[in-house]
Amino acid sequence: MPNSLELDLGLFIFMLATFIGLEVIRKVSPLLHTPLMSLTNAISAISVVGAILITGSGEATTLSKVLGFIAITAVVTNIVSGYLITDRMVKMFKKRGAKK
């Protein structure tokens, strides 16, 4: 069982990573949003594999299974939404048909 210092340190690292991630994404040029979304989709794919492995583990507790299911649902929603938005942005740059 982790002690309170380990939990506090983990929470601190999570919060720090969240704030740094938000600042980094805010500073991204609009031209780079599509490649950035592709990268985050790849990271999300890694996360979904980890969540599936943890949730499907034989020693997983009920809490682990519930949190794993929530993680899988959130990550898959993020992946699908990212691809839909990227597809929509790519379609904006395609030439339209010839005018009549």
- In three-state secondary structure terms, 57 is coil
Contacts of 51 (CB under 8 A, 6+ apart): 68, 71, 72, 75
Segments making up each domain of the chain, as ranges:
4-93
pLDDT of residue 54: 82
Model confidence, pTM: 0.56
Predicted local distance difference test score (pLDDT) of residue 33:
65
pLDDT of residue 5: 75
Q: What angle do CA 70, 72, 77 make, to 5 degrees?
A: 95
pLDDT at 28: 72
Tell me which residues of the chain have a pLDDT lower than 70.
1-2, 30-38, 97-100
Task: Report the amino acid identity of residue 1.
Answer: M
Look at residue 100 in the predicted model and tell me its pLDDT: 53
